[in-house]
Structure 1
């Protein structure tokens, strides 16, 4: 069962570019990289030469004589003469390149040679890059792939582009969803919260129409991730990385969701764990939300590096790390319990990150003023509030009303409720978060009336 991915459109556009460079698809384990590339290759090339450096370690020798394209092609043919190289109609797919990162050095020469298309993929690429002697800067293209977002989940459920466009029109026009739409999309979104976006988990759910076996799949993925830490975290304290990873659910459940290194282990100090947090972020396992020094533009660089929250890269992994009682309650009764706020924050952080946003929050010292997330338009800084229950978004309204924050003119509140707008706060259901970046682009282009003229 193949699940349609946004990467499909990217790969087709890449293939259509006459000046395309070798492509590296990066991302954490089990997000669907190999399956997506296999599907694309089968539909676009007469010959596909696939080499998996983990399953076929003998191919690691193909760079022993140098990195030239002809040299590597010759060595591949020597190992397996059945592999066919048709100039102009062959894709060479180097998979699991974390097991042989030197192959990336050859991409420059494949680009110059131009006879074959090349795609590389593998887990933990952000870490593996540090092992590469020369990573062909200027001669390759990088694409980051993550687990399914809610739009892709809806595709898997059988909803087409027309449904997505209808959702987007509701947002642009500030037209509330009907009762049927709210029920259907809210239920689907809750299913997505429980399942997460890992393709194997979603595919199992789609095949059976139930949640049977999905928790076991999620927990196996957690074990695989922990094994990756032990396998690839070279030069760092693996026990510390595992401690940070395993403490994420506990710290998210607290009222103050700022990740506290001191709670990870007795006597733990931030300077000893900085590399561990960076390693987890680079691997794609987690998303880091950084505390802004002050809520103003630009976002990049405007943060306190010692203050941050940690969310999972896929909320399904969060669910898998809950205790059995909480997990069973969530699946059977949709009861998020103590994790309710954390669960919604996590799913929103995931949606924003998958939309291409970096994550930022703000907590004013010696004050109750705290804002969950920030995004931006071309001109304005936009606070985003996540409400797990009915509330007035007091901090966001303070930011909007105060002359101390001139770049904040309006905000977005995400909740279980319908679309609405009041006092420069636009309210939208959680399930529309994946459309937020597109909505703000529409605002910049004057095509989102509900956000026009935001000045106080």
Structure 2
């Protein structure tokens, strides 16, 4: 099944604004639906299209890129002969699928765009990894779009629900609660989305009426695929990335979810593992959240990368990873998660989905920990803000509560310590929206609107 995806509108915007002056590169983790949406876009928006899938193309097609870039008439003649297809019409596109597997094709974009005969779309994962850009000139004629797993709105579209999100958006904008009955219904949908996840194959299995055990089987296969990618990378890095990825659920159970390298190897040092952590982040199978030493608008300037958290790129995959030590996944386990009745640390799942939603909304992920002496005491205590984003050139601190607990000392002390003027402060929790004491309490499904 082909699902409606928001990235389609971004591709339309690129096509309209670039008008043939640049190629577009759609990057993201494997199995999130890049190839599917790009082919759908090519079918609907162009007279004709051709796909070069570099996971499958033969050496003759690849040699054509190496040998004939100085003579594009010969290049296209050979390409059409080798593919057994000629492009018909004035408005045609050539898709370079899995372009990271053949970097020379990516380098050729500069000359192909200048030639102007066709438009070009590239898709790829692991695009920025060193070995995939080594010895090539990255074309400046390349507009990059990041693609993520299906978000809550895309999931609702998949189950033919077009009314929930406008209702959520109106409630958020007017700061008006939805009411218990509506909130409960949306929370049930959201919990289902959280455990199924946003990988199109898993959503397809759910929409097709498959059992949770079958949905879990699909997700296990995706995790196996990711582990194969990590294993290939790890031939040079002694399984560091594989071990780090496998320990994410265990790490998220730590106090404050901080990543402890000592859980990977008691003698581990950040310098020895930072490339492996970056690989997971750049492969977009994990979301890295970095500590900032000072809550300033230019957050990246104060980033302390040795103090970080690491979330799974898709929360549905995290749920499967948590349950992986069981031989099979019980239907009852999934149902218990959906009705909020499971005796595992749900805080880690809630925090992971918040990270995922913030990332999909275009935010880089940062948190802040600080020391403060509360009034009436003499002892310095450590406090932490779960996430920090910038809106309207002002810091917006975010706290995540997996229960109905509403304490906000860390906010109060943060503002006192730094004399901050915050545009908004958000507590994300599982109850209905409310605005109180200058703090917006929002249900978890509204995170996408931040």
Q: Name the TM-score, length of structure 2 as normaliser.
A: 0.91
1:362 corresponding residue in structure 2 = 368
Determine if the alignment matches structure 1 residue 134 to structure 2 residue 137: yes
Q: Partners of 1:215 and 1:132 in 2: how far apart?
A: 41
CA-CA distance at 1:233 after TM superposition = 4.9
2:107 corresponding residue in structure 1 = 105
CA-CA distance at 1:62 after TM superposition = 2.0
**3-state SS of the aligned residue for 1:177?**
coil
Query: Quick check: 196-205 or 372-381, which moved more?
Result: 372-381
- Report if aligned partners of 1:65, 1:71 keep a CA contact under 8 Å in 2: no
Q: Partners of 1:144 and 1:401 in 2: how far apart?
A: 34
- Report if aligned partners of 1:291, 1:307 keep a CA contact under 8 Å in 2: yes
Candidates 411, 416, 434, aligned match of 1:397: 411
Q: Partners of 2:142 and 2:208 in 1: how far apart?
A: 37
2:286 corresponding residue in structure 1 = 286
Query: Quick check: 87-96 or 303-312, which moved more?
Result: 87-96
Query: Quick check: 254-263 or 398-407, which moved more?
Result: 398-407
- Report if aligned partners of 2:28, 2:147 keep a CA contact under 8 Å in 1: yes
CA-CA distance at 1:212 after TM superposition = 4.1
Q: Partners of 1:409 and 1:401 in 2: how far apart?
A: 12
CA-CA distance at 1:238 after TM superposition = 4.3
- Report if aligned partners of 1:370, 1:395 keep a CA contact under 8 Å in 2: no
Q: Partners of 1:307 and 1:364 in 2: how far apart?
A: 13
Determine if the alignment matches structure 1 residue 382 to structure 2 residue 396: yes
Q: Structure 2 stretches of 5 or more lacking a match?
A: 372-379
Distance change in 2, residues 1:164/1:20 (3 Å): farther
- Report if aligned partners of 1:47, 1:90 keep a CA contact under 8 Å in 2: yes
1:447 corresponding residue in structure 2 = none
CA-CA distance at 1:95 after TM superposition = 0.8
- Report if aligned partners of 2:46, 2:92 keep a CA contact under 8 Å in 1: yes
Distance change in 2, residues 1:232/1:96 (3 Å): farther
Q: Partners of 2:56 and 2:238 in 1: how far apart?
A: 25
2:219 corresponding residue in structure 1 = 218
Q: Partners of 1:282 and 1:233 in 2: how far apart?
A: 15
Q: Partners of 2:222 and 2:420 in 1: how far apart?
A: 45
Determine if the alignment matches structure 1 residue 22 to structure 2 residue 23: yes
- Report if aligned partners of 2:151, 2:198 keep a CA contact under 8 Å in 1: yes
Note the alpha carbon deviations across 1:201-243, whole angstroms, 9 max, x for none: 0011011164241111111111100101122456x41411111
Determine if the alignment matches structure 1 residue 352 to structure 2 residue 358: yes
Query: Quick check: 50-59 or 108-117, which moved more?
Result: 50-59
- Report if aligned partners of 1:194, 1:330 keep a CA contact under 8 Å in 2: no
Output the aligned Cα RMSD.
2.0
Q: Partners of 1:27 and 1:140 in 2: how far apart?
A: 16
Query: Quick check: 200-209 or 62-71, which moved more?
Result: 62-71
2:160 corresponding residue in structure 1 = 158
Distance change in 2, residues 1:159/1:351 (3 Å): same
1:176 corresponding residue in structure 2 = 177
Q: Partners of 1:428 and 1:253 in 2: how far apart?
A: 24
Distance change in 2, residues 1:409/1:146 (3 Å): closer
Distance change in 2, residues 1:401/1:56 (3 Å): closer
Q: Partners of 1:86 and 1:135 in 2: how far apart?
A: 29
**3-state SS of the aligned residue for 1:369?**
strand
Q: Partners of 1:255 and 1:214 in 2: how far apart?
A: 31
- Report if aligned partners of 2:180, 2:432 keep a CA contact under 8 Å in 1: no
- Report if aligned partners of 2:5, 2:154 keep a CA contact under 8 Å in 1: yes
Query: Quick check: 198-207 or 54-63, which moved more?
Result: 54-63
Q: Partners of 2:415 and 2:99 in 1: how far apart?
A: 52
Aligned pair count reads 432
